[in-house]
Amino acid sequence: MEKKIGSNVSSGAEKVENVESKIEAQDVDAPAKKRTAKSKNAAGKTRPAVKKSTKKAISKEEKKERAAAEKRVDKAKAKAAKKQEKALKKAEVKQKKIEKKAEIKAKKLARKELVAKKRAERKQAKIEKRAALKEKKLERRAEKIARREMLKNETKAEKQKRIAREKKERIALKRQRQAAREKAREDKVKSRRAAHARKAADKKHRREQKTERKANRRGFGGWLAAVISLGVACLALSTVVAYGAFEMNDMQVASENGYRATLYELVSVSEDMDNNLSKLRVSSGANEQRRLLTDVLVDTALMESALERIPVDQATSTDISAFVNRTSRYASGLLSKLASGKALSADELSTVSALYEINSRLYDELNDIATHMETDDFTAFLHGSDSDVGQKFGEIGQNANKSQEISDAPFSNEGNVGENRLAALPEISSSEAKEKLAEYLSAYRLQEIEYTGETAAPGMTCYNFEMKDEDGVTLFAEITKNGGKLAFFDTYEECTEKNFDLETCDKLARDFLAELGVDDVEAVWLSDGGMVADLTYTAISGGVRAYPDLIRVRVCESKGRVVGIDARGYLVNHHERTYEANLTEREARETLSSELTVEASSRALIPLDGQEVLCYEFVCDYNGQQYIVYVDANSGEEVQMYRVRESARGSYLE
């Protein structure tokens, strides 16, 4: 730095050196000048004063030059420092520009990467969307194929019912849309009228206020203070009351919004389960079936949680929960079967289709409530008053419990287990089947019997017949092609009164079965819900209940006659058997949990994974809850357990 300053110093430093050299020269020449002065003095010209003043003048000039030189040096140094500072600032600015340029470059690079990432995400989203559309197309195609297959095997009676149902649904939908349009139009007219009324009222009020101000413009001096005080007091009171009312109203609105959100959540979950069950009924791959069953289990858990947060009555909640719990249990059983490496049977997929039909109706009805419910009606429902919403929820609960395809009795709808006993019987013609049907239902005084085709049910082929009795009530029946047995029978009459108790209905059902040649059965499950008794019988052989040989009978409690029967399990499985057990009942009882109290026990033959297993059946109690436990009579292993639940439509198992 010193070298730089030295090299940049101006001629001031040189002048300083020159001055110093001149001073030295003056000092050297001083004797000579002295001599000259003496010589001049000798000549008579002495000037001592001049000599003295010359020394002083040189000394001042020297100081002046030195000061000027130092000033120039300082100025040069300051200039050099300023130049150096400027150079440093320039370097800093340059460095900042470089850094800013690098930052901009980094931002551009990051933005470029972000754009590339978003482009890749959009591309992936498009691929996934195309895959989802493709999957949806495949689903629709599968549904169309399934529907085509269903229509192919559809009987004439079923076709008529389906067409009538679809027509009714279209008409109902059209009416709903028309009603919605009319309501929107009425609301618009009401809103316009209300606006006009408010405007007229405001105008009248302003006119009255103006008239009052004119009348009271004078003469209000004395009582002004009292009026003001009273007004302030009234204003304060009204403010307090209004604040409380607003707060209560806000709480009520928040509560209603919460219930609405729960209802919409229930609709969404029901729709998701509808989608999963729809896929499951036509799926054939084990991996896809496992995924769908897992989704169904999640959906049932979410539905149960949402149901607990909706203020429906106990009976309705129990009815809907019954369907949800039975669906969950059935899905869990199918998932366990797939996990063990076994495939789902046609009967199990048929039950999945039945679950889909029930849930589809449940979703439609819930969606109808959520879409078309009135605010006042929903508020009345939340407060426990009579309302259309509460009535519709009650209907939903009843419809959810109408299916006969889900286990309302132990091991119901298991289908054929082992050898098909019906297949060995000789075939008969449709005319012979018609004659047999007239004999089976001779007590019903049939006026018309119409053959409507054949149905290929699991394990059997049946002739279908549609009938009418003397009162015009429609009946439907199926007669097996092999052996001419009554496999299925149902009527569509209403039962509105309870004139017969469960014991009497049991006797009527046994008499009906005896006329069909079935008398070796025992009632194992009696459900008395609504106005129709649902009774389940199983064959008894050697004191053992053979659950594969089930017959279900429905008896109208108003008229005291059988209105339905399903004997398909009995027909394909019933035969004479021999039983061997390695364990006694006492030994099997010891394998039960110590928490259970056994109330009844018996030997039972149950269907398990396509085979018949001899078990001990124990009816147990735990803290007021009833359980049915089955223990293998040979291995002592607990192979099945049911929990008995109650609903508004009778008992069911889960």
Q: Could you tell me which of 549, 233, 527 has the C-alpha nearest to residue 537?
A: 549
Q: Point out the least confidently predicted range of 88-92, 513-517, 607-611.
A: 607-611
423 and 512 part of one domain: yes
Residue 238 has pLDDT above 60, yes or no: no
Distance between CA atoms of residues 480 and 433, nearest Å: 8
DSSP label at 309?
A: T
**Buried-state track 442-481, b at ≥16 Cβ within 10 A, e below 16:** eebebeebebbbebebebbbbbbbbbebeeeeebbbbbbb
Residue 331 CA, chain-centre distance (Å), reads: 18
CA angle 285, 291, 293 (to 5 degrees): 95
Do 400 and 443 lie in one domain? The reply is no
Indicate whether 13 pLDDT > 70.
no
* CATH number, domain with residue 634: 3.10.450.40
Task: Give the list of residues 6+ apart from residue 444 with CB closer than 8 angstroms, or none.
Answer: 467, 469, 475, 561
Looking at the fold, whether 636 and 619 belong to one and the same domain comes out as yes
Structural domain including 103 reads: 2-22+49-147
322 close to 645: Cβ distance less than 8 angstroms: yes
When mean pLDDT is compared across 174-188, 457-471, 603-617, 618-632, the lowest value belongs to: 174-188
* Residue pointed to by tokens 């019988």: 537
Residues 6 and 94 occupy one common structural domain: yes
**Same structural domain for residues 334 and 240?**
yes
Q: How many domains does the chain have?
A: 5
Does residue 646 lie in a domain region? Answer: yes
Tokens of 378: 């929903």
585 plus 637 within the same structural domain: yes
Do residue 452 and residue 561 come from a single domain?
A: yes
3-state helix/strand/coil string of 332-368: HHHHHHHHCCCCCCHHHHHHHHHHHHHHHHHHHHHHH
One-character DSSP codes across 85-118: HHHHHHHHHHHHHHHHHHHHHHHHHHHHHHHHHH
Judge if 583 and 645 occupy the same domain.
yes
Euclidean distance between CA atoms 444 and 501, whole angstroms: 21
Q: Say whether pLDDT at 571 is over 80.
A: yes
**Boundary residue ending a domain (352, 371, 406):** 406
Does residue 617 surpass a pLDDT of 90?
A: yes
Question: Residues 302-313: pLDDT tens digits?
Answer: 877 777 666 655
Return the CA Rg of the chain.
52
Considering the domain architecture, whether residues 359 and 451 belong to the same structural domain is answered as: no
3-class secondary-structure state, position 426: coil
pTM of the model: 0.46
For residue 649, the tally of other CB atoms under 10 A from its CB is: 22
Which two tokens mark 493? 């009459």
pLDDT digits (tens, 9 = 90+) for 405-419: 344 567 776 677 778
Q: pLDDT tens across 362-396, in order?
A: 777 777 776 766 666 556 655 555 555 555 555 55
Instruction: Name the 3-class secondary structure at 497.
Output: coil
> Which of 114, 147, 180 delimits the end of a domain?
147
